[in-house]
Amino acid sequence: MRLRAAFSDLNLNGRTPPRVQPRLGDWGPELVPSTGQKRRMRIWVGLVLLGAMLAIFGLGWYVYHAMTGSWGFGIDKNTGFLAPHALVTAVAVLLA
């Protein structure tokens, strides 16, 4: 999907009756956000939602680590790909 298609047709008046459309001033609608402001707000909302999801994930990962003592994802002191003895074993196998 093209980026322009995501921001197309931001005219919110559409087929609404004139009594509910915003008042028009000399240079356009009064107290109505411009198309550029709407576009920027859509981008900001997406970034804020992404940040909120990352914060919730980080908090959950922290609570999991605090309760279990394990970092999760196979990252642990004794097991997993990044464990010290696993790295030593892998190096020993490669050198042998």
Look-up: residue for tokens 């980026």? 3
Q: Rg of the Cα trace of the chain?
A: 27
Question: Which pLDDT score, from 0 to 100, does residue 67 have?
Answer: 87
Question: Please, what's the b/e burial string for 24-40 (b: 16 or more CB within 10 A of its CB; e: otherwise)?
Answer: eeeeeeeeeeeeeeeee
Residue spans of the domains in the chain: they are: 3-95
pTM over 0.85: no
pLDDT one-digit tens code per residue, 30-86: 777 888 999 999 999 999 999 999 999 999 988 988 888 777 776 665 555 555 666
